[in-house]
């Protein structure tokens, strides 16, 4: 099996685990994330608008917005890094590319901390995304400009001990699940 096939198989298995974890319900899933972000109050932060069965960071993002700027990713074009639009609770949202919700009015911001959605992760900072490379390009670009903290946010069930990774896959600095904080 080649790398592309291994990634597709890993994604399929991880999506099934994530769906089961999502269905189980986790009312305070963002509590660990909020606790970690409290140590970075005021730093420009990028969260994300959860889609389908992604773990929901909105409670932590809302709390962080009371202390500093928060933004969300905007896909501008295939093959390019993400841009980030300012967000706060109550921001009017519209549908962007791939069904992601984005702010109707865009005021751009470059974050220093990214909360990164994912399909699967390992305990060495490896992350398997959706396959578009948007976060890998973005993390690489931001890290070339300044120290950037990339925090993967996922259900613990999304852990995989054998991720098929490539040299272009950017490592995460931390993984936060509904019950654990994993640092590297």
Q: What's the pLDDT at 110?
A: 96
Q: What is the pLDDT along the chain (184 residues), one digit of tens a residue?
A: 898 899 999 999 999 999 999 999 887 889 999 999 999 999 999 999 999 999 999 999 999 999 999 999 999 988 899 999 999 999 999 998 878 899 999 999 999 999 999 999 999 999 999 888 999 999 999 999 999 999 999 999 999 999 999 888 999 999 999 999 999 8
Which residue ranges make up each domain of the chain? 3-183
Structure token pair of residue 51: 């889609």
For the chain, list the strands marked E by DSSP.
45-46, 70-74, 83-87, 93-95, 101-103, 113-116, 120-121, 127-128, 149-153, 174-176, 181-183
Can you give the pTM of this predicted structure?
A: 0.94
Q: What's the pLDDT at 28?
A: 83
Instruction: Specify the 3-state DSSP secondary structure of 110.
Output: coil
Among the four given CATH numbers 3.40.50.2300, 3.50.50.60, 3.40.50.850, 3.40.50.10420, the one describing domain 3-183: 3.40.50.10420
Please give the DSSP secondary-structure letter assigned to residue 171. Answer: P
Alpha-helix runs per DSSP H in 25-117? 31-37, 58-65
Contact present, 30 and 58 (Cβ < 8 Å) = yes
What distance in Å separates the CA atoms of residue 172 and residue 57, rounded to the nearest whole number?
17
What distance in Å separates the CA atoms of residue 67 and residue 11, rounded to the nearest whole number?
36
Please give the DSSP secondary-structure letter assigned to residue 176. Answer: E
Half-sphere exposure (Cβ direction) of 9: Cα atoms closer than 13 Å:
9
């Amino acid at each position: 099996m080649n790398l592309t096939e291994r990634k597709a198989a890993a994604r399929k298995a991880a999506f099934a685990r994530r769906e089961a974890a999502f269905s189980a319900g986790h009312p305070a899933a963002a509590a660990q994330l909020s606790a970690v972000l409290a140590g970075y109050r005021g730093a420009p932060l990028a969260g994300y608008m959860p889609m389908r069965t992604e773990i929901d960071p909105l409670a932590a993002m809302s709390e962080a917005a009371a202390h500093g700027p928060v933004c969300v990713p905007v896909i501008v074009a295939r093959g390019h890094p993400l841009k980030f639009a300012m967000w706060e609770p109550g921001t009017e949202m519209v549908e962007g590319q791939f069904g992601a919700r984005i702010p109707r009015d865009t005021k751009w911001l470059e974050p220093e901390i990214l909360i990164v959605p994912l399909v699967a992760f390992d305990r060495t900072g490896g992350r398997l995304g959706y396959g578009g490379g948007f976060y890998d390009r973005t993390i690489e670009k931001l890290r070339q400009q300044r120290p950037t903290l990339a925090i993967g946010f996922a259900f613990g069930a999304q852990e995989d001990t054998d991720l098929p990774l490539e040299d272009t896959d950017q490592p995460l600095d931390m993984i936060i699940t509904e019950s654990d904080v994993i640092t590297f």
